[in-house]
Amino acid sequence: MTERVDISIRGMSCASCVGRVERALKKQSGVTDVQVNLATEKATVTFEAHANPSQAVHAVEEAGYQPVVETAEIPIIGMTCGSCVSRVERTIEKLPGIVQASVNLTTQKAFVRFLPAAVTLPRIHHAIRDAGYEPQDQGESTQTEREDQEGVQLRNKVLIAAAFTIPVVFIAMGKMIPALEAIFTSIMPHRGWMGIEWLLTTPVQFYAGARFYRAGFAELRHANPGMNSLVMIGSSAAYFYSMAALLIPGFFPAGTAGSYFEAAAVIVTLILLGRHFEHVAKGRTSEAIKKLLQLQAKTARVIRNGDTVEVPIEAVVPGDRILARPGERIPVDGIVEEGHSYVDESMISGEPVPVAKQMDNEVVGGTINKNGALTFRATRVGADTVLSQIVKMVESAQAEKPPIQKLADKIAGIFVPIVLLIAAITFTVWLGFGPAPALAFAFVTTVSVLLIACPCAMGLATPTAIMVGTGKGAEMGVLFRKGAALETLARVDTIVLDKTGTLTMGRPELTDFVVLEGQENEVLRWVAAVEAQSEHPIAEAIVRGAKDLGLDLPSISRFQAEPGFGIEAEVDGHKLNVGADRYMSRLGIDLGKAEERATALAREAKSPLYAAVDGRLAAVIAVADPLKEGSVEAIASLRAQGLDVAMLTGDNRATAEAIARQVGIQQVLAEVLPDQKANEVKRLQTEGRNTAFVGDGINDAPALAQADVGIAIGTGTDIAIEAGDVVLMRGDLRGIVNATALSKRTRKTILSNFAWAYGYNVALIPVAAGALYPFTGFLLNPILAAAAMSLSSIFVLTNSLRLRRFQPDSVEPSQTPAGEPG
């Protein structure tokens, strides 16, 4: 048994940070798997059962980063003895993400330290309530509030840094422009202006830039330098070199005691500004989650002891009777007990038309009750609701690391040490062979190399694209349960579809009723009345078809069924016989030309039956499992993308091939037993195919798990959905087209991000080292190096954000983005 826990981590800024945190966590006992995501700033850690996350928290702190751990004091009513204390402590400690739990009987309080990314305070309250005690709410700080606070702090640091940096840059420019230099010199000697630059740069370096020193020293202390180390070393070199030139100019060779205070100040300010833009952009990448969370109701009207009371949503428990008034959101999932209304379920189904709800119908939390009052009994609350499961799926997909990112992290892990080596070589070469003043040239080129090589863009290249892509998928009703599925689906070349419930509706329907003698509605009434006595699915389809036309079914007498043949009964004074062709032959009834019609129906994958009235053939009946709307269009679109499409079914080959002809599928795998479906998928894989399997039933779960990507129809069973990597919430196969198109666009975005991030570093490190100087006299200024580094990260983020405007070639006609009213 294992347990997955999310840990939010502050202070990570590049791919090498990710590698450092992963290595620190993997060293801990009981940890079986670790995935760290720079964009979400989370580590997903898999523990062996009953392992304590506190060791992981300590490991992150030791690595030089700040795990987000919240502390809560929870007043509890109902504890009376030591056993009560033990029970509450054990209950809390069983939850994922609990670092420490201590309960005090005297103060009637529980002191809890927990990881907010893994468990919420309402979840802890619910667990305490399940243990038989009543927690009291003292409020909590949400992740959004924490992010807002961090954004405000970052913005304030940028403003402060800019306020001090601008005059430093103005003074530096004044010393370089001859016309201004004379004015400056007349006011104050050159060293005096250097002193002012020193005073202005110091708060920028050590107050606004303090975060780089905290994180940078931690990286160096663990002998694992990262981006913060590079920024710290580069800006400090400029600052302390200038300070030494100001205080002890005689120590330097002639002409090298220059001032680079403006470089130090601008470096810190530009990188802080880049961090601020990154923070804003990261917030935009997770807007899909925020939109989904906004759908959750905050309160519920619960009927208790005959009175309706409004309680916080966290206080609702399964079994509560809840009143939903017109215009209100349904607070939790449940079953209607009283009332009739129409509910807007566009967030789940994408259908703009509200769905009628009455007794025994299911309602889903987050949907909108339109025009009538409903009283329903809560069945799923908190993390168990459909909406919470959707949020969990999207968050899980955003946090997971695809294979391409794992490769990038390995490269980034050795990149920074290589950069430091290149910087040392650059300094040595310029100092030994550069023109006078060699020290100044060596210093400028070394600082430029350190700054230009910061691997921020590398660490952001994949997770930002995954976050935006999975969020966009959620809006389209396509849930990626695993982030890796976005990348893997883009490489799929073969789509294998289950037939029943996937290509087809999954239940028989009356498709044809051809009357040979008598009135159509009258004969259909008689046939449906007879079939109403049978429990066969075909009989149910005929009865349902008659009732859909509003026909009343007469009573029958003398009912007799012959298994394998048909049914005989008396209806309204007439003898009715309904059954297969062999039943009619046994009765001596000539089918005549009706046989040709029946054969044509069979070729269309329809099951023909016959009805005789008083010994004469009266009607030909056809029942079939009809295709889902959009199936033909979806198959055509998939084939247009260059994908091979196959159908896998347990039906007989004739029926399977008939369905395949209707939808345009050429490869049919028929008469496959449920337990052999996974083997058929595996056989395709051994042929070198990258497969995606699409299914909806319990018997599809093994095949979904075996395929490179399992795509579960969201209207199917829970087991199939759990086994799938991708879930189509609307049950429309055109969602597959959207999913494949989105995955290809996301992968293309990831590759372009990497091309920019790596290409930028590979191309500009030699420029920063001064490779162009012997030929062109060009030398990259450290200020430009810092600006370029920040711009590279911003480019990667904005490139990923372009996915938000993604529109697939095939869009469901009734599509409404998840979370928006239809």
Q: What positions carry a catalytic annotation?
A: 498
Sign of CA pseudo-dihedral 625, 626, 630, 632:
positive
CB 528 within 8 A of CB 520: no
- Which phi and psi angles does 172 have, rounded to 5°? -60, -40
The CA distances from residue 642 to 391, 458, 664, 737, in Å, are 33, 31, 14, 12
CB of 330 closer than 8 Å to CB of 324: yes
On whether the CB atoms of residues 246 and 198 are closer than 8 A, the answer is yes
Are 286 and 468 in contact by the 8 Å Cβ rule? The answer is: no
Report the C-alpha gap between 219 and 207 in whole angstroms.
19
Phi, psi for 820 (deg, rounded to 5): -115, 140
The label of the residue with tokens 């062979």 reads 433
Query: Could you please report the per-residue DSSP string of 618-629?
Result: EEEEEEE-PBPT
The secondary structure element, H or E, covering residue 800 is: helix 782-801
- What backbone torsions phi and psi does residue 33 show, to the nearest 5 degrees? -155, 145
All residues at 6 or more sequence positions from 526 whose CB lies less than 8 Å from its CB, including other chains: 554, 571, 572, 574, 576, 611, 613
Q: Of 455, 449, 457, which is closest to residue 782 (Cα–Cα)?
A: 449
Cα 1 to Cα 51, 54, 95, 674, 693: the distances in Å are 11, 19, 14, 28, 28
Residues recorded for the chain: 822
Cis before residue 437, ω within 30 degrees of 0?
yes
Distance from the Cα of residue 748 to its chain's centroid: 18
**Residues 481-519: b if buried by 16+ CB within 10 A, e if exposed:** bbbbbbbbbbebebbbbbbbbbbbbbebbbbbbebbebe
Give the span between the Cα atoms of 755 and 753, in whole angstroms: 5
**Kind of pairing, strands 333-339 and 299-304?**
unpaired
* SS3 label, residue 251: helix
Torsional class of 68: left (φ above 0), alpha (ψ -120 to 50), beta (otherwise): beta
Q: Sign (positive/negative) of CA torsion 221, 222, 226, 227?
A: negative
The C-alpha angle with vertex 751 and arms to 749 and 752, in degrees rounded to 5, equals 65
DSSP state of 504: B
Position 164: which residue type?
F
Other Cβ atoms within 10 Å of 234 Cβ, number? 30
User: Residue 592: how many CB atoms within 10 A of its CB?
Assistant: 9
Give the Cα separation of 295 and 390 in Å (integer). 12
Q: What are phi and psi for residue 77, nearest 5 degrees?
A: -100, 135
Compute, in degrees rounded to 10, the torsion defined by CA atoms 48, 119, 466, 812. Answer: 120
**Closest-CA residue to 407 (of 459, 457, 456, 466):** 459
What distance in Å separates the CA atoms of residue 517 and residue 454, rounded to the nearest whole number?
85
Beta bridge partners of residue 375, listed in sequence order: 323, 338
Contact call for residues 537 and 510 (beta carbons, < 8 A): no
